[in-house]
Structure 1
């Protein structure tokens, strides 16, 4: 899902939450949850969108309505050996989107 699709689906009320996942402390990626499925947010080329910080994520998501937004820290062990379950990335901490 790219940013335009994320915006459109958010405005339609389809997005349940957005997670800002901290992968290695200074690398972040966005994922959107619709139902029980998580979708990585991609750039225009189809690559996972890299985000520099919480502030940068808020800039990218400024057009979205109020959607639950969480900061999620990936578990270092899972990053090194691979995640068995894509939800093994840890619990998210709610943060303000706007």
Structure 2
């Protein structure tokens, strides 16, 4: 899904959530969740768009109607050290595309 398609779906109210996934290497990927599918945001080259920060995402989507967003970070330390028993869930932090928040 490219930004134009995301904008069209957001205008129709079909975007349920955008997950900004924090990845090793200091960049993020955006996953858009619709009713029954999750799709990665891609650039003009058709490859997953590498996003540098929440500010970068806000700049990319400044003309897109707002929808819920969440920053997703996995806790590698807990997985490596085995501190907790059972599955380790990702840290999910809601944020807004509005730069004033």
Partners of 1:72 and 1:89 within 8 A in 2: no
- Give unmatched runs, 5+ long, in structure 2: 78-87
Between the aligned partners of 1:89 and 1:48, the Cα distance in structure 2 is: 24
Q: Aligned pair count?
A: 88
- Give unmatched runs, 5+ long, in structure 1: 78-87
Between the aligned partners of 1:89 and 1:31, the Cα distance in structure 2 is: 17
RMSD over aligned CA atoms reads 2.0
Between the aligned partners of 1:89 and 1:2, the Cα distance in structure 2 is: 28
Question: What secondary structure is seen at the aligned counterpart in 2 of 1:50?
Answer: coil
Task: Summarize deviations over 1:59-82 as a string: whole Å, max 9, x none.
Answer: 0111122200110114549xxxxx
Partners of 1:15 and 1:67 within 8 A in 2: yes
Superposition TM-score, scaled by structure 1 size: 0.79
Change (3 A) 1:59 1:8: same
Alignment of 1:1-98 (within 5 A): 1-24=1-24, 26-74=26-74, 76=76, 90-98=90-98
Q: Which runs of 4+ in 1 moved over 4 A?
A: none
